[in-house]
Structure 1
Amino acid sequence: MQKVIDMQWFSNLRLLLAGFLLLLVASCQSSDKASDVLSVDAQAPAGATVSPERVGEGEATIILALDLAKATRANADLADGARLAAELLGGGKVSLAIVDAAGAQLTPADKPVFYAAGPGVIPQPPAGLTPVGVSETAPAGGFAFVGSREDSLATGMRHAAPKGELVAVLVPENGPNDGSRVDAARLGSAIGGKVGVLTYGTGESGVEIIKKMGDISKIAAVGFASADRTEISRIATMLRKVSPGMLIVGNSDWTSSVAALPVLEGAVIARPDTQSAEAISERFRARYGRVPSQMALYGFDLVAVPAGIVRARGGSAVTRAQLLAPAGFRGASGSFRFRQDGRIERLLELAVIKGGRFTVAKPAEGGF
């Protein structure tokens, strides 16, 4: 297995963060003011230009574009994670500019090396920069930063059928949580072995859906592409009646409310790595008074990756080719690498639903 590119800033992260402790304490004194950028009171009038918020004094500038007119928790968490990374890992060489996607301007002194766009933002990167979008879908010419439901389901199904046993995946045809982000053909190829990808309509009963599977005794596991709690409960209940011991595989969009369904006891889900966050969770909690969410971890890594490259090789080294390094990166959100087609590949952990809760059964691997 190829060793992950563990840039110096992350391979010894705990030591590095300890070295930045004084900086962290100083930054805590102004944390309330910095967070106000995303508060409801700080929203800018429509059409107004918002000056970029800057963190750090380095020459190389990392741009995080957010829709500051929307004071969402996702935006706040993303920005806070990015701020923390800039404060701890900038090293006097990197600065973070949090800009309003509606039209904030950089200064001539800025030397942009990396551009990331928050949820719902249409990227408008400076010339020559490859945009990274905080979504499952890659922006034009760039990369996605959020792992897909499809990848999660494929990983879970491979675990359920390690020897290529016959498995079935249920993909709804339409609806708000319809699995539309799941490419059936690509999913089947990613799982490998014998796979039956079955689509069903919202009007079909659980009995009708189960009948589509044929001889269920020959199926090793059934995967759900849906994240709709009511829909999952309806189908899984019928599935348990027909085959009580059937292994059910969920996906990374399943929430704690889905896990609380008694019928899903023992189900397996491949989800984002939760162990890697330990390296920064204590600092984040001390800085912001809350546990870092997945979005906060994304924000941290969106700064940590280019910051590590700049510190090791200079600003000119933050290139598309470098971002496509096969060995990938290891960050607070786990190990990941960018694909040529713009998608991101993340190493996932396996969780099992026990007593209505997700329990880690197998930690994510450390590298590709």
Structure 2
Amino acid sequence: MSFMNSIHPVPRGRARHYAGRALGVLLLGLVASCQGASQDAMSVEPPQAAQARRAALSKPRAQETFGSGPVRVGLITALLASAGESQRERDIRDGAVLAVDELGSGQLSLQIENTDGSSEQIQEAAKRLSDQGVRLVAVSADVRTTVAREGVRAKDVPILVLGSTSSQPGEGGFSFISDRIDSAVEGASYAAASGRKRFILLAPADMTAAERHRLDRGLAGYGIKPVLTAGAASVPGDASARAKLKDIDAVVSIGAGEAEVGSLSALRANGHLAANAIVVGSSQWTPASYRLPELARSHLCLFGPENGSRMTASFRQRYERAANLDAAYGFDIVALAAGLVRTQGESGINRQALLSPNGFLGAAAAFRFEKDGSVRRTCAIYQLVDGTLSLADPAPRSF
């Protein structure tokens, strides 16, 4: 995890990421610990690896502690849910445990509260963590920030929310996950940076009003105003709509189902798309959709850990499985705390520090928090080639 402080002011907009990348940044702290080591460099198994693998296979205890440093970081999971252990929860937990071992440097301890995911247990867990004097609380269970905040009495303790409700954290909390809306916005900004100007947005039927607000706000932040926003099931065929559809050079399709594919085919068949039109998808697209001929050459903005980084190599070696985005989220929770403590001291974990406009560099690329608690995260751009993902542009390491 590294902190990114710009030597010179950096203009907003994804064009800065993809048009040159010549940004002056000062990287502090833990770059070598988060990125850059090859698999070969990690080939010697650490002594604790076998023990960690056995622990990963065992049923988690209600309370777990890792590390012995004076600065405490709390993580509340739903690993004890009655429906059985969630792989997502396990990945987040394991990523956080790996980070405290690799980055804690004797300064951090990780206090994990494994719950059944109910509001009652999460509030009780938050109270126990508060009594232990944690400086940061992360909640992977899908609950509102207010549930944890009622247990964490100290109002200056930041709460990171990793559930699906985290797009609207509230109560002084911070979102920590990036979803299909974030992916579509960042993908659209890539198209805009490449010169596309006339956008059409295909909206999925299940998009909520809150998601639509976030989408419109995100696109506007990049100066993108679609000439038409239509339901994915159909593109309007009236004369007014047809007039708007001339020379469309970017289609943003959040979903990749039958409705979206049909609308995209209709746009092509009716000659509405310019010769250089680009189709931008989102993280909602599934591997099965990658093979659809109608979606060939589409571009996707995907969040996740950098393959071949030290984090991914260490995670595979310890847990004998690949590190996914959830594992990177867990890793970055602890890495964020470690970086703040290393650069700003034991009292460095606070809301003001988290709102640094320069952001942070972690296993899941660069991210920063906005004043409303939402998160912005850079992503890698992939193109669908022969039904598979082909890297077109790595995730920017700065804003």
Q: Return the TM-score normalized by structure 1.
A: 0.84
Name the counterpart of 1:320.
Answer: 351
Name the counterpart of 1:222.
Answer: 251
User: Which deviations, in whole Å up to 9, do the C-alpha atoms of 1:201-247 show, x marking residues without a partner?
Assistant: x7x5467499845353321111113x252322222232332347542
Name the counterpart of 1:46.
Answer: none
Alignment check: 8 A CA contact 2:97 2:331 kept: yes
Alignment check: 8 A CA contact 1:132 1:138 kept: no
Alignment check: 8 A CA contact 2:303 2:364 kept: yes
Name the counterpart of 2:302.
Answer: 271
Percentage identity across aligned positions?
26
1:137 equivalenced with 2:181 (yes/no): no
Q: Return the TM-score normalized by structure 2.
A: 0.78
Letter in 1 for 2:359: G
Name the counterpart of 1:118.
Answer: 140
Letter in 2 for 1:222: V
- Looking at structure 1, the residues matched to 43 and 104 of structure 2 have their Cα atoms a distance apart, in angstroms, of 14
- Looking at structure 2, the residues matched to 94 and 261 of structure 1 have their Cα atoms a distance apart, in angstroms, of 47
- Looking at structure 2, the residues matched to 111 and 255 of structure 1 have their Cα atoms a distance apart, in angstroms, of 42
What does 1:16-35 align with in structure 2 at a 5 Å threshold?
Answer: 25-35=46-56
Name the counterpart of 1:363.
Answer: 394
The SS at the match of 2:138 is strand
Name the counterpart of 1:77.
Answer: 91
Letter in 2 for 1:346: R
Shift of the 230–22 alpha-carbon distance from structure 1 to 2, 3 Å rule, reads closer
Letter in 2 for 1:237: S
User: Which deviations, in whole Å up to 9, do the C-alpha atoms of 1:279-303 show, x marking residues without a partner?
Assistant: 2111111100011011001110011
1:298 equivalenced with 2:326 (yes/no): no
Letter in 2 for 1:76: R
1:8 to 11, 22, 29: 29
The SS at the match of 2:347 is helix
- Looking at structure 2, the residues matched to 146 and 210 of structure 1 have their Cα atoms a distance apart, in angstroms, of 41
User: Which deviations, in whole Å up to 9, do the C-alpha atoms of 1:22-68 show, x marking residues without a partner?
Assistant: 9972321322443246x4xx5xxxxxxx6411111112111111112
- Looking at structure 1, the residues matched to 262 and 359 of structure 2 have their Cα atoms a distance apart, in angstroms, of 40
What does 1:229-244 align with in structure 2 at a 5 Å threshold?
Answer: 229-243=257-271
Q: Which runs of 5+ in 2 are unaligned?
A: 1-9, 11-22, 116-120
Alignment check: 8 A CA contact 1:117 1:132 kept: yes
- Looking at structure 2, the residues matched to 248 and 35 of structure 1 have their Cα atoms a distance apart, in angstroms, of 41
1:53 to 50, 64, 86: 64
1:247 equivalenced with 2:266 (yes/no): no
1:95 to 109, 130, 134: 109
Shift of the 13–247 alpha-carbon distance from structure 1 to 2, 3 Å rule, reads closer
User: Which deviations, in whole Å up to 9, do the C-alpha atoms of 1:172-229 show, x marking residues without a partner?
Assistant: 3x33x668623253244134155224132x7x5467499845353321111113x252
Letter in 1 for 2:98: L
Alignment check: 8 A CA contact 1:4 1:327 kept: no
Deviation at 1:348?
1.8
Deviation at 1:137?
1.2
